[in-house]
Amino acid sequence: MPGQSDLIHLAVALDGTGWHPASWRDPAARPAELLTARYWADLVGAAEGGLLDFVTIEDGLTLQSDDNLRVDQRTDRVRGRLDAVLIASRVAPLTRHIGLIPTAFATHTEPFHVSKAIATLDYISSGRAGVRIQVAPTAAAAAQFGRRNVVEPAEQLLAEAGDFIEVLRRLWDSWEDDAEIRDVATGRFIDRNKLHYIDFGGKWFSVKGPSITPRPPQGQPVVAALGHGDAAYRLAGAGADIAFITSFSTEETTTIVDTIAAARADDAEPVRVFVDLVVFLDDTDDAATARRSRLDELAGAEFSSDADVFAGTPAQLADLLQERHTAGATGFRLRPATLPHDLTRITGGLVPELQRRGAFRDGYESTTLRQTLGLPRPVNRYSTTSQEVV
């Protein structure tokens, strides 16, 4: 049997009715239920039934658009969505093992608010929370807030995101693990010597702290970032626990993994790198290709993505994943082209196939997301100080 490090890790990226723009018109789609709790509970429950590491939940600061730089006026696409963090909080009590990683924005939002929201999610899920940090480079997103009129270059936004992550981590550490005493006899609920100012001052944020939420069960919820280009790889390498990448070959995967590793501090735990793939899965190769063609016809254009696109059978996808796993990636984040169809094929077809090959686990062995990913619980950076909060 292969060792734990040889096993492939799998995650699923959830977005509306799927990643294809015509996915809502698929016969199995449930577009009328997109704004219901049951819809999201069913998807995440199915992912947990397939023993996946975690799900990510997409979000935005503007309406969805086919144009990356501005909001389009199309009416034949899914438009409108629920808040990703609130979706994760709603489904957390209905699951027991799977990690929950909603999207949050470093641009236009405050790290203090995000830190306590994700800390709360970690409590609700008993240690299965994470957050995917994203930037918002468009004028349309800036117009939603009205505080920043100039759209900054991507590199500057990513540098801001680096500070955002640092503030999150400091706020999560601002309470020591045993800061809450809850001693009824003495009347002491907290030890104020174990609450700390973070005193962060930078170009974009000035945050004193401490948080209003005690240190999360994981100590630090998992931080994820999607990488496109060197600046994003540096952000992931310096501040994230998980990096999502969009490589198109084994060789490119190895290059990006090495680039991210080079940005990592020598004493830091290595970043867990997940390769993104959009998947169209069916019982035969012809059926998968035909379904993709039908959706393209409905959409009025051939589907393309920032990530590699696969159409075929679960067994063929297993071949591809095993080949690319040798490039140094921890695992794969699969983007189902349609929901729930492709998610069902992942959990009911791909996972059993990988298990037969000894390449995927047979059950959950961990209780927290960090444990599932092989990440240690971080030591609190403030635990050796004695500054009192008054």
Domain ranges in the chain are 4-372
Backbone angles phi, psi at 308, to 5 degrees: -65, 150
- 248-301 residue pLDDT tens: 999 999 999 999 999 999 989 999 999 999 999 999 999 999 999 999 999 999
How many percent of the chain have pLDDT more than 90?
Answer: 88
In the chain, the amino acid numbered 258 is: D
Separation CA 219–CA 376 (nearest Å): 10
The CATH H-level (homologous superfamily) assignment of domain 4-372 is: Luciferase-like domain (3.20.20.30)
Can you give the pLDDT at residue 310? 98
| Distances, alpha carbon 132 to alpha carbons 11, 84, 220, 321, in Å | 13, 10, 13, 23
Residue 128 and residue 83 in contact, taking contact as beta carbons nearer than 8 Å: no
| Distances, alpha carbon 37 to alpha carbons 23, 42, 96, 336, in Å | 20, 9, 17, 20
Taking residues 298-314, report their average pLDDT: 96
Asked if the model's pLDDT at residue 226 lies above 50, the reply is: yes
Identify the H or E element spanning 210. Answer: none
Asked if the model's pLDDT at residue 247 lies above 60, the reply is: yes
Res. 3 pLDDT band, cuts 50 70 90: very low
Can you give the pLDDT at residue 276? 98
- 108-145 residue pLDDT tens: 999 999 999 999 999 999 999 999 999 999 888 999 99
Can you give the pLDDT at residue 6? 82
| Distances, alpha carbon 36 to alpha carbons 82, 195, 305, in Å | 9, 39, 27
- Residue 62 is encoded by which pair of tokens? 């503007």
Res. 67 pLDDT band, cuts 50 70 90: confident
Can you give the pLDDT at residue 71? 81
Separation CA 219–CA 221 (nearest Å): 7
Res. 2 pLDDT band, cuts 50 70 90: very low
Asked if the model's pLDDT at residue 390 lies above 50, the reply is: no
Backbone angles phi, psi at 240, to 5 degrees: -100, 160
- 192-214 residue pLDDT tens: 999 999 999 999 999 999 999 99
Reported residue count of the chain is 390
Can you give the pLDDT at residue 389? 45
**Residue holding tokens 């990703």?**
84
